[in-house]
Structure 1
């Protein structure tokens, strides 16, 4: 059985979360500089059995694509060239950053810790994965 990897793609950095092999638990894995994301994925895929990638799909409130979708489409083109056999699904990621920030508050993190944008991205990826696993 393979894992599911979730990506909260951003222009500067991408949050990454992963499931366990039974696809029960979603855990934050890391945050990767977006420029290094494909290299990170090559290495990760060589070490772990991943059967599905979930890629956040940022949308406006009216369900139209957000401005960052242009960058995501460029990434998708490169991803498909390098990993043509890897299954990839898009997942609506509206409000994940707000949910991530609220979870940081709820867990008691200090204000300084909540300003760590990399942590917000990692938690957002975890929320994307959780929404998929628990639907």
Structure 2
């Protein structure tokens, strides 16, 4: 089997998570500056077997898309051109940042480390990926 990647896309930086090859466990991989994201993904997918990329879909409480959605759609068009052989699925990412922050507290991450937005983005991507895996198994 191949891995699944998940992206918590942000205008400044993007958190990335990945599954193991059996697609059982979601783990944080890294956080990349968003302008470098496409080149990172091209390099990563050339070295690792990736079956799917899951991208968070930011929605407001009233179910409307947030402002960053248009930027994400533009990125996804470029991604499809550069890496056409890997499909992309979208998943609702409401509350992932709050869940990620709480999971960092619950797992004993020190307050100083929790202030690092890069870590929060990576954990948020992991929450997105874990949610995808959970719903896929149902």
| Interval containing the TM-score (normalised by the shorter chain) | over 0.9
Q: Structure 1 regions of 5+ residues with no counterpart?
A: none
> When the two structures are aligned, how many residues end up with a matched partner?
135
In the TM superposition, what are the counterparts of 1:79-98 in structure 2 within 5 Å?
Answer: 79-98=79-98
- Residue 99 of structure 2 is aligned to residue 102 of structure 1: no
In the TM superposition, residue 111 of structure 1 has moved relative to its aligned partner by 1.6
Consecutive unaligned residues of structure 2, counting only runs of 5 or more, are none
Deviation of 1:85 (Å): 2.0
Show the counterpart of 1:46.
Answer: 46
Which residue does 1:36 correspond to in 2?
A: 36
* Mapping 1:49-64, distance limit 5 Å: 49-64=49-64
Deviation readout 1:19-56 (Å, 9 max, x if unpaired): 01111000000000000000000110110000000000
Q: Which residue of 2 aligns with 1:13?
A: 13
TM score, norm. by length of structure 2: 0.95
| Structure 1 residue ranges, 4+ long, deviating more than 4 angstroms after superposition | none
Aligned partners of 2:12, 2:33: CA distance in 1, in Å?
6
Q: Which moved more, 1:104-113 or 1:35-44?
A: 104-113
Corresponding residue number in structure 2 for 1:127: 127
CA distances 1:71-106 after superposition (whole Å, capped 9, x unpaired): 101101111111122110001000000011111111
Asked if 1:2 is matched to 2:6, the reply is no
Question: Over aligned residues, Cα RMSD in angstroms?
Answer: 0.7
